[in-house]
Amino acid sequence: MNRHGALLDELGLSAGLLDPLLSDWLRPLCAALPPLAAAGGASIDHHKAFVVAYRLGEDESLSMHVDNAEVTLNVNLGGGFEQGELLFYGRTAHPLAHHDWHDGGGVGHGVLHLGAQAHAALPITSGERLNLVIWMRSRARRREAGCPMCGQTDRLL
């Protein structure tokens, strides 16, 4: 995970902001999208939210990885940066699709994707990139299919 940023729960933002966002908006949206609903999006009941920061000389990119989430929301908060596209991979190490934050994905735009979908953040070449990331998790899905990271069913979140 990114070394620079902030865990939003530690800032006290869960009860008044993140919990209602999850229950009132994100869960219904995930339930309405069949690929996300099938992966547990219809029963998400927990989240881990954080802001990541990419800066030259610090964290400039993030290698290919999957998230500890059934569904992930990644929102561009800005910061004035160049490059730094988000790549999505298929079943191989070759990019399947990419999201360019500058071309149709400016400040406030986000990407909703399966947490198990391999992805990477390409290096920024200037400026600072700030993103809000919300990992959405489902206890029901994890009891059935296990944690997407380790497969365990006894340690749900």
Q: What is the pLDDT of residues 77-116, one digit of tens each?
A: 988 888 888 888 876 566 666 665 555 567 888 999 999 8
Q: What is the pTM of this model?
A: 0.89
**Going residue by residue through the chain (157 aa), what tens digit of pLDDT does each one get?**
577 789 998 999 999 999 999 999 999 999 999 999 999 999 999 999 999 999 999 999 999 999 999 999 999 998 888 888 888 887 656 666 666 555 556 788 899 999 988 999 999 999 998 999 999 999 999 998 888 788 888 766 5
Segment 6-15 long-range contacts (CB within 8 Å, at least 24 positions apart):
6/50, 6/51, 7/48, 7/49, 7/50, 8/49, 8/50, 8/51, 9/48, 9/49, 13/49, 14/47, 14/49
Output the six-digit token pair for 3: 């070394």
How far is 75 from 42, CA to CA, in rounded Å? Answer: 21
